Structure 1
Amino acid sequence: MPRPTGDVEAFEAHASDADLDDLRARLAAARLPEAETVHGSAPGRRRWEQGVPLADLVDVVDYWRTGYDWRSFEERINRIGQFRTTIDDLGIHFLHRRSPRADATPLILTHGWPGSVAEFTDVVEELADPEDAGAPAFHVVVPSLPGFGYSDKPATTGWGTEKIAAAWVELMGRLGYAKFLAHGGDWGGVITTVLAGRFPAHVLGIHSTLAQAPPGLTTDGLTAVEREWTEETRDFWLHRAAYAKQQATRPQTIGYSLVDSPVGLLAWILDKFAEWSDTEDSPFERISRDRILDDVTLYWLTGTGASAARIYYESHNSLDPGLRVDVPSAISMYPRDIEKCPRPWARERYRRIVRWRSPEAGGHFPSLEVPGHFVTDLREGLVAVLAADR
C-alpha cells in the first residue's frame, strides 16, 4: 500500500464538559410552542402533517438531556480513526479505517444533509474487516463535507459539489489511493456522480442510492411503478421541500436558530428523519434515539447548523445537465426514499449501470435504517462494479 502524502494529521473528538453542561442547560430551559392542532389523530403519518409532534419532541429532548451519552459516540469515532488535512485552504475532517486485508479496495463514503459521518460509523468496521473471510474488504474513508462536523466552515462562496468532488480526489491521493470506489446518497450521491463523471481516471466505479437523470425526459415507455416514482418525486419537490428552498435561498436566516437553539436544531433534523424513513409513525421504529442524537449532537457541538445548510445555497439544482458517467455504476432505489429515478431515465446519465436494485425496505438513511442489508447491497454492488472494470 502506498504511503500517505501531504499534510494529514491525526484528530480526536472530545467535547468539553462545559459544552455538554451548556447543552443540557439549554435543553432544560427550552421554551416550546403549544401542541399541533392535529395532535388528536391516531398513530400514523398524519400526526406529522404540521411537523414534529410536541409529545414526541418533549420525549426526545428529555432523553437528550438525561439519558444520551455523547462520550460513547466520541469513543466510537476515535476508535475508527480520525484525521484532518487542508485542501484549498480549508480543513477537511475524515474517518479512515484501513483494512488488514491485502486484497482490500479503497472506498470513499460521502454523506448528505441532514446526515454526517455518524451515518456510517456502524458499518465501517464490517466493510473494512468483514467477519466473513469471503466477503470483499475495503479501505474506508468517510469525509465530513465542508461546513459539516469537524471540517472547517468555508468563509467564502464556492464550495459546491464540483469543488468538493475535486477535493475528494486530492484527499484520496494524499492517503495513497490513486484509484478508488465511491458511494453516496443525498448530497453524497450528487458528489459521487460528479466524481465519476469528472474524474474517471481515478474512480473505479460507484454505488449510489441517488440517481439524478438529465432534465427534459418524458414518461413515455415507463412502467406503472416507474411513473409512480416520478409522480412521488414531483410531489415531494412541489409540496414537501420548503426546507431546501429555505436553505438554498436564506441559509443564514435559519442558521441563527440552528446554531442558537438545540431544540430548534433537533426539530429541524428530526422532521427529516421522520418523513424520509421507511416507517409508519416514528423514525424510532427503525433508528434508535441514540443514533439520531449522535448526528444532531455533532451538529450542535460543532456549531454547523448554518454552515451545513449552505451546501444548498452552493449547489441546489446545480448538477451539470450534460454530465455523463461512463464508469461502472451500481444503483439502489430504496422504497421510501424521497427521490426515486426510473432506470430508463438513469441510463441517460449513468451509461454503464452494471447492477440495479429496488430493495424491499428502507428509506433515505439505509445505513441507519437497514444497516445489515445496506452493507450486503453495497458489497454486492461494488463487486459487480469491480468485475465490470476489469
Structure 2
Amino acid sequence: MSNATQPIEPSIEPFRIAIPDADLIELRQRLARVRLAPGLQEQGWHQGVNPGFLYGLLDYWARDFDWRTQEARLNALPQYLAQLKGRTIHFVHQPGKGPAPLPLVLTHGWPGSFIEFEKLIPLLADPGAHGADPADAFHVVVPSLPGYAFSPSDGHKGTGTYETAALWAALMTQLGYERFGAQGGDLGSNLSSWLGIRFPERLIGMHLNYIPTSYQPPLGDGQPPLTPEEQAWKKRQDAWKEEEGAYRRMHATKPYTAAAGLNDSPAGLAAWIAEKFHAWSDDFDKSISLDTLLTDISLYWFTQTIFSSFQMYVEDSARPVKPEGRVQPPIGVAAFPSEIPMPPRSWAERCFDVRRWTEMPAGGHFAALEQPQRLAEEIRAFFRPLREA
C-alpha cells in the first residue's frame, strides 16, 4: 500500500440564489409597518438621507420591486461556493473568451456587493462581443467578501482585508490560476493592495479605482517632505472625514449598536445604505436605478450580513496598509472625479510602482456600476503591456 498523499479535490460547488418565499413575505410585512422619523421641510440630503426619497424608495420596495426578477438575472452569472481555510466563500467565475485570457480577481467594498460588477464582467470576459480586442480577455473571478452576501461570517473576530487576501490567493489556486491580476475599489482597494504586498510573486499587477484611506506610506525622517498637492489633499481628506466620515467611525468602533437596528428595520437599512450611494456617486439619479439599489440592499437584508460587513472596518482600522519598502507588482489607477477624496499620484508613488494613472472624465465611488465601459477600457489598457511581459 502506498503512503503517498492523495490529491485533495478542490471543494467548489455550483450555487444559485434562492431566497425563501417566507422571507419575501416577512419583508413586505415589515415594510407595511414602517414608521419614519419626522423630518424638516427644508432638510433634503443635508442631514442624511432625504426623507422624501426614502419614503418613495420604501414604497417602491414594498409595492413594485420584484426580487424574483433580480434573482433570476443574477442567477445567469456562474456562481459557486468554495471551502477555503475553514470559510465558505461565494464567488462568480466567468471564463474568458479570447486567445489567452488573463485571470483577474475583482473585489467589491461597502455598501456594495458582488452585483457591482454585473455589467463589468462581460466587458472583461468577452471583449470581442463588445467591440474590443479579444486579446484583452480575462478569466473573471468576483468573490463576496467574508461576511457579505453569501459568504457567511464565521462568528469570530480576525478577518479583515489582510487575512482575506490569503483567502483570495487560495481561491485562485483552487481555480488553477497561479498568477493573476487584481482590481478593486473601497475595501477592494485595501485587499488588492494586500495581495500585492503579501503575494508579489503571484500578482501580475493591481488596478485600483480608489487609494485606500488606510494606506500609509513611510513619512518623516529620511522621506521626501509632503508636496503642496499632497498637503492640499490631506486638508480635503480631513474636511471630508469631518463632514462625511461618521459612518466609518461607527462601523469601526461600535458596529453592533448600529447593526442591531439596521438588521431589524428594512427602513433603517435602506436609509443607511442609500444615503452613501447618493453621496458617493457622480450622477445618482441616472447611474444607479432603484432596482439596482434595492437589489443590493435586499442582499444585505435577506442574508442578515450588515453587522458582519461592518467587521471589516474594525479589523482594517487595527491594521492599516503600511508597506515595508516598495510594493513589487505594478499598479494602475483610475481616478474618478466624484470619488471620495483621492490622493495625488505622488502619494501612491511613495511605495507603489505606478505604471498608469488616468483622470477619468465622469464617475464616482461605484465605478463599476456608474461607468462600466470606461472602467473596462482602463483595466484592459493597464494590463495589456503586462500580458506581454
Residue of structure 2 in register with 1:154 after alignment: 154
Residue of structure 2 in register with 1:42 after alignment: none
Closer/same/farther in 2, CA of residues 133 and 186 from structure 1, 3 Å limit: closer
Q: Structure 2: which amino acid aligns with 1:26?
A: R
How big is the shift at 1:152?
A: 1.4
On the 8 A contact 2:116/2:368 being kept in 1, the answer is: yes
2:37 corresponds to 1:33: yes
Residue of structure 2 in register with 1:235 after alignment: 239
Residue of structure 2 in register with 1:316 after alignment: 317
Closer/same/farther in 2, CA of residues 358 and 210 from structure 1, 3 Å limit: same
- Distance, in Å, in 2 between the alignment partners of 1:232 and 1:70 is 40
On the 8 A contact 2:101/2:139 being kept in 1, the answer is: yes
Q: Structure 2: which amino acid aligns with 1:157?
A: K
| CA distances 1:238-283 after superposition (whole Å, capped 9, x unpaired) | 331111111101111111112111111110001111111113xxx2
Residue of structure 1 in register with 2:4 after alignment: none
2:217 corresponds to 1:214: yes
Residue of structure 2 in register with 1:286 after alignment: 287
The two structures, once aligned, show a CA RMSD in angstroms of 1.9
- Distance, in Å, in 1 between the alignment partners of 2:90 and 2:188 is 15
Identity, % of aligned positions:
38
Residue of structure 1 in register with 2:362 after alignment: 361
How big is the shift at 1:317?
A: 5.8
2:254 corresponds to 1:250: yes
How big is the shift at 1:37?
A: 5.2
1:124-273 aligned at under 5 Å gives the runs 124-130=121-127, 131=129, 132=131, 134-135=133-134, 136-211=136-211, 212-214=215-217, 216=219, 220-223=226-229, 228-273=232-277
On the 8 A contact 1:77/1:95 being kept in 2, the answer is: no
Q: TM-score, normalising length from structure 2?
A: 0.91
Which residue, out of 119, 123, 126, partners 1:122? 119
- Distance, in Å, in 2 between the alignment partners of 1:325 and 1:33 is 49
**3-state SS of 2:150 partner:** coil
Q: Structure 1: which amino acid aligns with 2:182?
A: A
On the 8 A contact 2:216/2:320 being kept in 1, the answer is: no
- Distance, in Å, in 2 between the alignment partners of 1:220 and 1:164 is 32
Q: TM-score, normalising length from structure 1?
A: 0.91
On the 8 A contact 2:80/2:92 being kept in 1, the answer is: yes
Q: Structure 1: which amino acid aligns with 2:271?
A: A
On the 8 A contact 2:120/2:372 being kept in 1, the answer is: yes
| CA distances 1:154-203 after superposition (whole Å, capped 9, x unpaired) | 21111011110001000010011111010000000000000011101111
2:46 corresponds to 1:49: yes
**3-state SS of 2:76 partner:** helix
Residue of structure 2 in register with 1:95 after alignment: 92
| CA distances 1:76-107 after superposition (whole Å, capped 9, x unpaired) | 22211110111121111001111233411101
- Distance, in Å, in 1 between the alignment partners of 2:216 and 2:358 is 17
How big is the shift at 1:321?
A: 2.1
| CA distances 1:196-249 after superposition (whole Å, capped 9, x unpaired) | 1110111110100122351647874344xx654333222112331111111101
On the 8 A contact 1:222/1:342 being kept in 2, the answer is: no
1:46-85 aligned at under 5 Å gives the runs 47-85=44-82
| CA distances 1:331-364 after superposition (whole Å, capped 9, x unpaired) | 11111111301111110121x2111011121110
- Distance, in Å, in 2 between the alignment partners of 1:179 and 1:270 is 37
Closer/same/farther in 2, CA of residues 69 and 344 from structure 1, 3 Å limit: same
Q: Structure 2: which amino acid aligns with 1:115?
A: G
On the 8 A contact 2:190/2:321 being kept in 1, the answer is: no
Q: Structure 1: which amino acid aligns with 2:164?
A: I
1:299-310 aligned at under 5 Å gives the runs 299-310=300-311
Which residue, out of 21, 25, 30, partners 1:17? 21
1:326-337 aligned at under 5 Å gives the runs 326-337=328-339
**3-state SS of 1:346 partner:** helix
Structure 1: runs of 5 or more not aligned = 40-46
Deviates more, 1:315-324 or 1:364-373: 315-324
Q: Matched residue pairs, number?
A: 373
- Distance, in Å, in 1 between the alignment partners of 2:93 and 2:124 is 12
**3-state SS of 1:264 partner:** helix
- Distance, in Å, in 2 between the alignment partners of 1:157 and 1:293 is 29
